Each structure stands twice: as structure tokens, then as C-alpha cells.
Structure 1
Amino acid sequence: MSPLFLLVLLGTAVAVNCETHKLTYIYTALSKPVDLPGIHEFTAMGLLNDRMIDYFDSSNQEKVPKQDWMKDRLPKDYWEKGTQSRKSKQQWFKVNIDILMKRMNQSQDDVHVLQWLHGCEGEPQDDGSLKFVRGVDMYNYDGDDFLSFDDKNQVWVAHIPAAEHTKRKWDSMPVLKQYTKGYLEKECMDWLSKFVTYSQKQLRDAKKPDVFVYTTPSKKPDNLVLRCMATGFYPKDIVLQIKRNGRVLEPADGLETTGVCPNEDETFQRRDWVEILKSDQSDYTCQVFHEASGFYIEESWDRTIDRNETPDDSSTVVLVGAVGWIVVLVGLIAVLLGVLRKRGILTPPCGGKEGTDSAASIPLGSVGQPLNVSAGVPKTEIPDGTDGAPVSDPLLSGECYHDNRNTVQDPPAAEV
């Protein structure tokens, strides 16, 4: 089993001088909504070198940039067209997940997961260009590899018996195979080259944070204020979490935050804090992940108290921090874990219950392994796919959409 949920993003930091560059996209659809915060019926995200660059979900219905350079360098119509494309792809997934459930005689009462991954990998050349190394286009259903495209031989590969029907159908559509190959080797590579160029400055300028965990007096004599501060980092995207005995604290636990604030030297800082009893013997840690610089640490509180700060000095202005992309991923992980537990494949760890934050406590960098479907499929990759491909009609005959002026192209979709 190689669930795409767990395959990417959290465990890999990208160096500026990496040997290859990868542009990948992942789409995840659930057979029905689930009543869990932060988990959506449909999500789509683009990644450059395993770093999220754009995002869409069924609740917000808008494709948005997740890197400053994406927002600065791409025009408004890129995002408008991308939004329409992903809305269309959402409908395609809705139709086809229903087809697969009927084909496999599955109950409508259960939650099922269909995912699509596609993208390309390129190697830098002496003249500054990127040479195509490999492409990937594959589907995953309920955590199992379902169907993938063999780019070299231009055939679809069925990984389970239920995919044989789709393989035969798609192999009989030459235009679909030709377009998929062309997308992976040409269009995807063109966008990869463009995005790598756009992102280079941000990658070069990344700075790691300094992290401090300490306590200060509280206005309440029996309490302390436990604080975690990360400062001096660039760019501003960062994940900071305070844990009590391994459980991530949330606003409902009294957690407060300044959010990300600028420093005078053009770097950034963030401080989170929570009031605790002086008598509390719990183990408290601060977990910080700064993706751009490849920095990760989980620092423990050594139970010392900084008495130089006045009570609640940093609590006067509180901004409840926005939940970053990492929480979206944690939510997706929670859904998949729930599916697997329901089938008896996994049991909740340490007595945890479904719907709790047990998934949120998974350490960064420990989530999942690279996809291993067949030889030639790049590791840690997940394709984007939909910007520009007409998918509202599931019975596509292989017609291709070629307006690639300001939006990433995807292989055309056909009914499974």
C-alpha cells in the first residue's frame, strides 16, 4: 500500500542546488463530506520540489498561491482560469468515484478516497535549461495504487483487477495517450523551468529561525505563561506548535499567538503561548518547521522561568494565527487513517479515538514514504492536474484543450 496522503511535503527539505527539480500536483476527493474540521470533500495542490505552491479546496472554491513569488509573478487570469479548471476537476472526481464504488460493490455509507498525481522531473543542464528525466501520471483509490501511465511505452498499467476496465478503455484512446505523454515531457517541463526561475531568489535567501522555549510569570499567582518563540526566519511561512505530552495544543486549550510579525532586519518572528499551572508536571515541547530553510526542531521546556519579563507582556495584542497548509495535510492524513481504521487495517495509537488530534501529533518528517508504484516513477511526486483540461463531461472522447497562455495544462480526463 502506498497512500498518497502520506507521501509528500512533510519530510523533505529542498536545497537550492538540488540535482533535479520536480513539478507535481495532487488531487484528493472523498466520496462524501466528513464532519471533521479542516477536511474537505475535494482538495488540489501544486508542488515545486515538494513545496506547496498553490492550493484549492471544495469549501473555498478558489485556487490561491502559497508562495509569494507565485502571487507576484503570475497574472490574475492565471488564478481565474486555474479556479475554473479545478472546479471542473472536482466534478470529474465526483462522477468517477461514484463509478468506482459501484464497480466494486461498495457501500455508500463508507468514506472512499480517490487521488490523482501527475508531474515531471528535470535535470539542470550547463546552459541553464532543464532536461526531462521522467514523468508520472497515476491514480490511487482507498490507499492502493490503481492506475498509472507508462510514459516510455505509452500504455496504462492497471495495479488492481478493478482497474483493468479503465486500462482497456484508456488504451483505446490514442489521443489521450499522446496528450498525456506530451504534457509530461513538454508542457509540464516548460512550467517547471518557469517556476524554478521564479523561485530561485526565495530559495537562495531562506534563513533558519532561532527557537526559544521558556516561561514567564502570570497575573495569576498559581500560573505560569509557557512561551515558544521562533525569530529571524525568512520567508515568513512557518509552522509552530506547542505540545503537552505529545498532543498539539489548540485555541480551545487556551493557546494564543501573535501570528507572524516582521523584524527590523526583514526577517520574521512568531510567538505562541499558553497559561499553565505551576504545579503542572506535564512534558511541554515546541515544534517548529520552516520549510524554506529545511529547518525542523522539537525543543523541550527545561522548566526554567524567565523573571525579567512582566506578566502577560506579549499578550496585549493577540491574533489567532491562521492554520497553515500543514494543518490541511494533517487533516487529509486523519481522513485516510480513519478510512484504514474503519477497515480494520489500523487501530488508533495509544488508545486515541477517531476524530481526535492523534494524527496531528505525527512528527514532521515522519509521515509517509516515497511512492513506489513501478520503476521509473519519481519519488515523492504528486501531479497537479486540471488547469486547462475540460473535465465537466466525464465521457470525454480525447479532445484536448490547448489554451496554455497563462495556466498549467493537464492531461485530458476520461471516465474511469
Structure 2
Amino acid sequence: YHESVSLSVITHLNLFHYGEQFLNRHSLTYIYTALSKDPKIPGIHEFTAMGILDSRVIDYFDSTTQVKTPKTHWMRERLEPEYWEKGTRSRKSKQQWFKVNLDILKERMNQTDDDIHVLQWRHGCEGVKKGNGLLEYSQGLDMYSYDGDDFLSFDDSSSVWVAPVKAAEQTKRKWDEVQVLKDYTKGYLEKECMDWLRKFLKYGENDRRTSMYVFANNARSKTNVVLNCMATGFYPPEIDIHIKRNSRILTEDDGVMSTGSRPNEDYTYQRRDSVVILRTDVAMYSCYVVHHSTGFEITKVWDGKLPNPNPDPDPPGPVIFIILAAVLALFVLGFVLLVLYKKGKFGKSTRLYTAQPSPC
């Protein structure tokens, strides 16, 4: 059952991942995952909900904290406390809705309380930026999955619910008869969701905080130093970084190495390029960074400051602690992934939508 929790974001990324591949496509998706009972596993909650802008988590709620919280600085700064209070109430209500419907589905399928079952709802919208710069609706997503399998989805083009399994046919017939539900679902996907998508994109674009740092570290040889060009706080992850020596761009043939774009804690990215140079080199070194999707562009010249060739050694205690903590975390992750693999079910992707209908 754990795969529906752990892989819910991955499933989403396979569905709406265009924001990173094509900069004129963006998506907003909400994922709700409910378990039939507490799994009593650290980090796995009985109920979770998250909002995802492109592939970036922007808000989060779980049954333990019981609070909807922002996951980016601009969501925290741009949205009033009332937004988060209302969101918390809404997600608490959805948590109860999921609990009721899990009981209904278990009874319908003659399942006992011995196993843990998973009900997941994903809904959202994708927009495409046209030549006039406006983001227009492209497609919607509103889908329910049960125990990792597709259960019910909304077809926006024909305004009907689609039941891929026999157990969902009763729910399909019931929901198809509620015209107001179908109208609301279609309206949310094509208008309300798109309005929020445009708003969140604007907030994020106006609050880009890409930073650039140029500095030197000690190399293995005391006659050398490692010159670093580091950019952080950017999104999406595609970025160009060039190290220059007297205006000439250095390449891999010159020994340039790159970490590639790596995620930060706030769902932005960082990247560091580096090259080993002589400590006595008096050439002018600079770093050129350009982030095409946001227009961020900067050239920064290294100030020539060299690190102490004989620094005091760091105390080993914290380093050992961090390594042990990392090993323990990997062990726990490995255990969870093993359980998921043995379970043998992984959520399949289809199309979804939104609205909180009556119980199944």
C-alpha cells in the first residue's frame, strides 16, 4: 500500500511534467492520499494532501500536523493568513470525506480491516502559453485511484465519469446523474484552476531569488585551489553556467566539472561548476550565469581571495553523526521501497478532475 503514498508525486510528474521540458507549458495539480488506517511508519501519514505547481510542491497538509502550510517563500509571503486557515478547514473536511468513502469501498469489495487500503484523488489543470503570452487551458485532470489502480476519472470533453473497473460503475452512474457536480468539475478545471495557476506562476516569477557565488576551496595539492561558480534559488532547473579565464570560456577539456542542477529544500535548484587552478595564477576569472526561463543573467568576477592552505581540521564528531544519520535514513528508505516492491502495485496514470462529490 505504501507505493500510493510514496509515489503519488512521481505519478503526477509522469502526467504533467511539461513545465520543465517545454517552458510554455505549466500545470497545477492537487494530490490527496488516504489510508484506511494508520500505518504506524515514520513519515507515512494516514492522510496527506499537497499542491504542486509544475513539479514543485507549493503547499502541504497531513493528518499529523492538521495544518495546511506553504512550501515556498512566495506562497508564505503573498497569501494572507485567511487563505491558509480556509485551506486547513477544507483539507480537514476532505480528510473526513476520504475516511467515509474508504469504508464504503471496503464494504463494496468485501474487504476486511486487516489490510491497509489506499484511496487517492488527483485533480488539476495544464495551460499552454500562446504567442500573445497568455496562458490558455490545455487539459484537465480529475482521477480517483484505489489500492494503486485507476478507479474513476472525469472526461472533460464529454462531461461524463469514466469507470475502468466494475467496482466503480455504481459510483459512475450516481455521479453522472448529478449535473451540478459535472458542471462544477468542468468549470473548476477550465477556469478556477487556471486562474490559480496563472496567479501562482506570477507570484513565483516575480519572486525569483537566484543568487550567484564565486569562491575558492583548497585542492588536494597545496599548490592548487578549486575555483567554484555556484548558482542557487533558481527554478526550473535548466541553467547555463560558464567559468571564464581572461574572457575565454573553460570547458571539460580544461578540467571543468559540474554537479548539475540539484534540488534545494524549498524546491528551487542549485548548481556548482568548478575547476582546479594554480594558487599562483593571476589571470582574471569570472562566472557567467544565465537562466533563460526567468531572464536572470549575471557575470561575476572572482575577487582572488585564496583559502588558508593549512586550515584547522574540523572536529570529527558532527561529520560522523551526519554520516550515521544518512546511513540510517537510507536503511529506512530501502525497507519502505522493499515493502512497496513486494506489494507489486504502482499507481497508473490517467486523466483527472476536481470537486468533492457525495460519498461513493
> TM-score range with shorter-chain normalisation?
0.5 to 0.7
Contact in 1 for aligned 2:232/2:270 (Cα 8 Å)? no
Equivalent position amino acid for 1:120 in 2? C
Query: Normalised by the size of structure 1, how large is the TM-score?
Result: 0.57
Equivalent position amino acid for 2:118 in 1? V
CA distance in 2, matches of 1:34, 1:122: 37
Q: Secondary structure of the equivalent of 2:93?
A: helix
Partner of 1:415: 359
Partner of 2:282: none
* Number of residues of Structure 1 aligned to a counterpart in Structure 2: 281
Contact in 2 for aligned 1:30/1:114 (Cα 8 Å)? yes
CA distance in 2, matches of 1:52, 1:152: 28
Partner of 2:279: none
Bigger shift: 171-180 or 117-126? 117-126
Contact in 1 for aligned 2:32/2:122 (Cα 8 Å)? yes
CA shift, 1:336, in A, is 8.2
Query: Where does the alignment leave 5 or more consecutive residues of structure 1 unmatched?
Result: 217-229, 238-286, 298-305, 347-367, 384-409
CA distance in 2, matches of 1:30, 1:335: 16
Contact in 1 for aligned 2:234/2:268 (Cα 8 Å)? no
Query: Normalised by the size of structure 2, how large is the TM-score?
Result: 0.65
CA shift, 1:160, in A, is 1.0
Q: Secondary structure of the equivalent of 1:79?
A: helix
Partner of 1:82: 87
Identify the match of residue 194 of structure 2 among 186, 189, 203: 189
Is the alpha carbon distance of 1:311 and 1:77 closer, same or farther for their aligned partners in structure 2, counting shifts above 3 Å? same
Contact in 2 for aligned 1:14/1:292 (Cα 8 Å)? no
Q: Secondary structure of the equivalent of 1:78?
A: helix
Q: Secondary structure of the equivalent of 1:234?
A: strand
Partner of 2:30: 25
Equivalent position amino acid for 1:310 in 2? D
Partner of 1:129: 134
Q: Are positions 1:50 and 2:55 aligned together?
A: yes
CA distance in 1, matches of 2:180, 2:318: 62
CA shift, 1:86, in A, is 0.1
Q: Secondary structure of the equivalent of 1:22?
A: strand
Identify the match of residue 289 of structure 1 among 263, 266, 276: 263
CA distance in 1, matches of 2:356, 2:231: 41
Greater C-alpha Rg: 2
CA distance in 2, matches of 1:131, 1:180: 18
Contact in 2 for aligned 1:208/1:295 (Cα 8 Å)? no
Query: Where does the alignment leave 5 or more consecutive residues of structure 2 unmatched?
Result: 221-227, 236-260, 274-307
CA distance in 1, matches of 2:115, 2:272: 37
Larger % of helix: which?
Answer: 2
Is the alpha carbon distance of 1:67 and 1:232 closer, same or farther for their aligned partners in structure 2, counting shifts above 3 Å? same
Q: RCO greater where, 1 or 2, for CA within 8 Å and sep 6 or more? A: 1
Equivalent position amino acid for 1:150 in 2? D
Is the alpha carbon distance of 1:171 and 1:8 closer, same or farther for their aligned partners in structure 2, counting shifts above 3 Å? closer
CA shift, 1:43, in A, is 0.2
CA shift, 1:296, in A, is 11
CA distance in 2, matches of 1:152, 1:296: 46
Contact in 1 for aligned 2:19/2:27 (Cα 8 Å)? no
Residue-by-residue CA offset, 1:226-260 (whole Å, 9 max, x unaligned): xxxx99453399xxxxxxxxxxxxxxxxxxxxxxx
CA shift, 1:334, in A, is 7.4
* Identity percentage of aligned residues: 49
Partner of 1:7: 11
CA distance in 1, matches of 2:231, 2:317: 22
CA shift, 1:87, in A, is 0.2
